[in-house]
């Protein structure tokens, strides 16, 4: 065996170790909290994510070729949705300039796949197209979010897009744009957030308001006015003692809830009484 082949094999082995090590670390940290959830029967998200990470990110892949590659990884419909989600989060770039200067960008799925740079509408459009290619029941949702530019009650038009997939009778919200990271002022932090793959609807309503009330996936949908009265709460603070039922009840009664105070210490949030 010549020296060149040895180097290639060693490099390949190291790549496998790195990917496996990263996935293992993420699994231990809770990144794969959905992997063993009984609501995803027979699905292994850790395996799917590892396979997607190994895929080539070449620019000249067609929509059909990409769908075939992702479909070959997935054994269940949940794994199809996960593979699409992970590929988009990993391979698209959020257009910071268009976001901060409120420029128009193409939201056409083919353009997004070719250019790999877009806003939330492009993330959602590409997810929708790939979901359709793989036979998933999916919707592209237009709506409003309280992002870094939010300064209180607003009557502007929709400013965000995400998706809802329905698998085995269960509807799940998937926001690939917010999962990819967060836009703040003129910067975008590409920091994957697992929360936005099927977050609880009663939590997501604090930030996301769909154009069609029924797509809130709540038993009692909120009006637009009620939505704007909701306090802004970091998503990962919901398991730190926030009483969702009380906040939603008071909001429906026409009351404005004072924003709780959160302290961040080594990442977890601590909530003061309010």
Instruction: Count the domains in the chain.
Output: 2
The residues, any chain, with a CB within 8 Å of residue 227's CB and separated by 6 or more, are 144, 205, 209
pLDDT at 133 over 90: yes
d(CA 66, CA 215): 28
Query: Are residues 93 and 149 located together in one domain of the fold?
Result: yes
Residue 180 lies in a domain: yes
pLDDT at 32 over 80: no
Query: Are residues 91 and 180 located together in one domain of the fold?
Result: yes
Residue 172 lies in a domain: yes
Position 30 scores a pLDDT of 42
Element (H, E) at 167: strand 160-167
Residue 6 lies in a domain: no
Query: Are residues 75 and 154 located together in one domain of the fold?
Result: yes
Residue 57: band (very low, low, confident or very high) from pLDDT cuts 50, 70, 90: confident
Residue 1 lies in a domain: no
Position 157 scores a pLDDT of 72
Query: Are residues 147 and 245 located together in one domain of the fold?
Result: no
Report pTM. Answer: 0.80
Residue 162 lies in a domain: yes
pLDDT at 99 over 50: yes
Closest CA to 107 of 96, 92, 123, 122: 122
Round the average pLDDT of the chain to a whole number and report it.
Answer: 80
Position 91 scores a pLDDT of 94
Query: Are residues 209 and 171 located together in one domain of the fold?
Result: no
């Amino acid at each position: 065996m010549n020296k060149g082949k040895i180097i290639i094999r060693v490099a390949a082995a190291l790549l496998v170790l790195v990917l496996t090590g990263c996935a293992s670390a993420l699994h231990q940290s809770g990144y794969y909290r959905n992997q063993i959830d009984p609501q995803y029967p027979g699905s292994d998200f850790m395996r799917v994510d590892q396979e997607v990470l190994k895929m080539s990110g070449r620019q000249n892949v067609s929509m059909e070729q990409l769908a075939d590659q992702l479909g070959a990884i997935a054994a269940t419909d949940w794994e199809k949705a996960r593979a699409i989600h992970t590929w988009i989060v990993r391979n698209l770039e959020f257009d910071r300039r268009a976001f901060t200067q409120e420029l128009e960008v193409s939201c056409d799925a083919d353009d997004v796949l070719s250019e790999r740079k877009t806003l939330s509408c492009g993330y959602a459009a590409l997810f929708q197209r790939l979901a359709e290619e793989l036979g998933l029941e999916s919707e592209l949702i237009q709506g409003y979010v309280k992002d870094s530019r939010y300064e209180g009650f607003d009557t502007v038009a929709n400013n965000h897009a995400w998706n809802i997939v329905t698998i085995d009778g269960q509807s799940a919200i998937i926001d690939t744009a917010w999962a990819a990271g967060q836009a703040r002022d003129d910067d975008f932090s590409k920091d994957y957030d697992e929360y936005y793959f099927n977050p609880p609807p009663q939590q997501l309503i604090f930030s996301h308001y769909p154009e069609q009330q029924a797509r809130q996936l709540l038993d009692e949908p909120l009006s637009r006015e009620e939505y704007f009265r909701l306090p802004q709460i970091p998503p990962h603070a919901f398991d730190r003692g926030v009483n969702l039922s009380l906040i939603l009840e008071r909001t429906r009664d026409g009351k404005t809830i004072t924003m709780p105070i959160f302290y961040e210490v080594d990442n977890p949030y601590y909530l003061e009484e309010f």
